[in-house]
Amino acid sequence: MAHVVILGAGTGGMPAVYEMREALSAEHQVTLISADDYFQFVPSNPWVGVGWRTREKITFPIRPHVERKGIRFIAQTAEKIEAQQQEIILADGSKVSYDYLIITTGPWMAFENVPGSHPHEGPIQSICTVDHAEKAYQSYQALLADPGPIVMGVMAGASCMGPAYEYAMIVAADLKKRGLRDKIPSFSFVTSEPYIGHLGIQGVGDSTGILSRGLEAEGVDVYINCRVDEVKDGKMFITQVNEEGATLKTFTLPVKFGMMIPAFKGVPAVAQVEGLCNESGFVLVDEHQRSLKYPHIFAAGIAIAIPPVEKTPIPTGAPKTGYMIESMVTAAVHNIQADIEGRKGEQTRGTWNAVCFADMGTYGAAFVALPQLRPRRVDMFASGRWVHLAKVAFEKYFLHKMKSGVSEPFYEKYMFQMMGITRLEKEKKADRKVS
Contacts to ligand FAD by CB under 6 A: 7-13, 33-36, 42-43, 45-46, 77-78, 104-106, 127-128, 160, 163, 267, 269, 301-303, 321-322, 325, 356-357
Closer Cβ to ligand FAD, 11 or 289, answer by number: 11
Nearer to ligand FAD, 34 or 207 (CB): 34
CA atoms within 13 A on the CB side of 159: 26
Which CB atom, from 14 or from 175, has the smaller least distance to ligand FAD?
Answer: 14
3-state secondary structure of 26: coil
Element (H, E) at 299: strand 297-299
Active-site residue, 160 included: yes
Distance CA(281)–CA(107), nearest Å, equals 10
Q: What is the full DSSP assignment across 406-419?
A: -SS-HHHHHHHHHT
Whether the CB-CB separation of 330 and 424 falls below 8 Å is answered with: yes
Half-sphere exposure of 97 (CA within 13 A, CB side): 6
The 3-state DSSP class for residue 430 equals coil
Least distance in Å: CB of 9 to ligand FAD? Answer: 5
CA dihedral 239, 244, 246, 252 (to 10 degrees): -20
Please state the closest distance from residue 295 (CB atom) to ligand FAD, in A: 22
Q: Which is nearer to ligand FAD, 104 or 337 (CB)?
A: 104
146 CB-contact burial (10 Å; exposed 0-12 / middle 13-18 / buried 19+): exposed
Distance in Å, CB of 314 to ligand FAD, minimum: 20
Residue 394 beta carbon to ligand FAD: minimum distance, rounded to whole angstroms:
8
User: Smallest distance from the beta carbon of 379 to ligand FAD, in angstroms?
Assistant: 16
Q: Residue 258 or residue 322: which is nearer to ligand FAD going by CB? A: 322
Q: What is the H or E stretch that residue 59 is in? A: strand 59-61
In angstroms, give the least distance from the CB of 350 to ligand FAD: 13
- Least CB distance from residue 346 to ligand FAD, whole Å? 25
Cα first-last separation, the chain: 49
Q: Spot the catalytic one: 128, 160, 226, 277.
A: 160
Catalytic residue (choose from 128, 226, 277, 356): 356
- Closest to ligand FAD by CB, 237 or 416: 416
Catalytic annotation present for 128: no
Pairing of strands 150-154, 187-191: parallel
Q: Which residue number, 80 or 377, has a Cβ lying nearer to ligand FAD?
A: 80
CA angle 381/382/387 to nearest 5° reads 120
345 three-class SS: coil
Phi, psi for 269 (deg, rounded to 5): -60, -30
396 touches 406 (CB < 8 A):
no
Q: Which of 165, 175, 168 is nearest to 211 (CA)?
A: 165
Task: Give the whole-angstrom CA distance, residue 421 versus residue 295.
Answer: 29
Calculate the CA dihedral of residues 135, 137, 139, 145 and round it to 10 degrees: -150
Residues acting as catalytic residues: 160, 356
